[in-house]
Amino acid sequence: MPAVSCVKFNATIISQTHISRTSRIPALEKDFYISKCVTNTSVKKPRGESLKKLLFVCVENAGRSQMAEAFAKRHGKGRVEVMSAGTVPSNEVNSKVVYVMREKGIDISKNKPKSLSTKMVQEADMVLVMGCDAQGFCPAPLLKKVVNWELEDPKGKPIEKVRQIRDEIERRVEKLVNEIA
């Protein structure tokens, strides 16, 4: 039988009842919280599956996680499966991020920010959080298989800073892919 556990939110232990009543947690996140509060199980990988599944997460899925997903697809092609998501997804990918990724020959202009789901987390071998814990809801404290990269958010930054963030993400992704695949 799976172990029952609850999660921390703003340093307060919350229950399923509290989650269903609170308006501070968007509806899609309530399902994520409830599933983590009710059961702490993981999905086992089928035998023979060799590709590692990486999930990059940030708040809006409009900047850092989009860049990380694109670089992982480039550097890990055929070696890793990649997806990204946000806890409170934006309506579109940050235009400066799209621009600086084009400079690297990667077009993410058609990408759409996606909402983080329990299924995504369960299917991932590794969840990489881009440093969102200081910006609102972040899943890092809820998950066992999380790596927090603590990267600066490119939102509202000058293009030079966005390039620096992009280059740091590429370095980390390339290193990660070479280590695990």
What per-residue confidence (pLDDT) applies to 26? 45
Give the pLDDT score at 123: 92
Q: Which residue has the higher pLDDT, 113 or 141?
A: 113
16 and 56 assigned to the same domain = no
31 and 117: one domain? no
| Mean of pLDDT values over 85-104 | 96
Q: Alpha helix (H) ranges present in the chain?
A: 16-21, 27-38, 64-75, 95-103, 118-123, 159-180
**25 lies in the same domain as 66:** no
Quote the pLDDT of residue 131.
Answer: 81
Q: What is the pLDDT of residues 34-43, one digit of tens each?
A: 333 322 333 3
Q: 8 is written with which tokens?
A: 């921390």
Question: Would 142 be classed as within a structural domain?
Answer: yes
Confidence band, pLDDT 50/70/90 cuts, at residue 119: very high
**pLDDT of 113 strictly over 90:** yes
* 113 found inside a domain: yes
**Torsion angle of alpha carbons 127, 181, 152, 91, nearest 10°?**
-60
For residues 150 and 69, state if they share a domain.
Answer: yes
Instruction: Give the range of the structural domain holding residue 17, as residue numbers without chain letter.
Output: 7-38
Which band of pLDDT confidence, cut at 50, 70 and 90, is reported for residue 147? confident
- Pair 82, 155 in one domain: yes
Number of domains in the chain: 2
Burial letters 19-52, b for 16+ CB under 10 A, else e: beeeeebeeebeebbbbbbeeeeeeeeeeeeeeb
pLDDT at 9: 31
The Cα–Cα gap between 94 and 98 comes to: 6
Q: How far apart are CA 41 and CA 141, in angstroms?
A: 15
Which residues, 6 or more positions from 171, have their beta carbon under 8 angstroms from its beta carbon?
Answer: none
Global pTM value: 0.71
- Going by pLDDT thresholds of 50, 70 and 90, the confidence category of residue 25 is very low
Integer Cα distance of 93 and 109 in angstroms: 7
H-helix or E-strand spanning residue 84: strand 80-86
> For position 117, which CATH number holds?
3.40.50.2300
Using the structure block, give the residue that is written with the tokens 């995504």.
Answer: 120
Residues 46 and 134: their CA atoms lie apart, in Å, by 36
Asked if 86 and 160 sit in the same domain, the reply is: yes
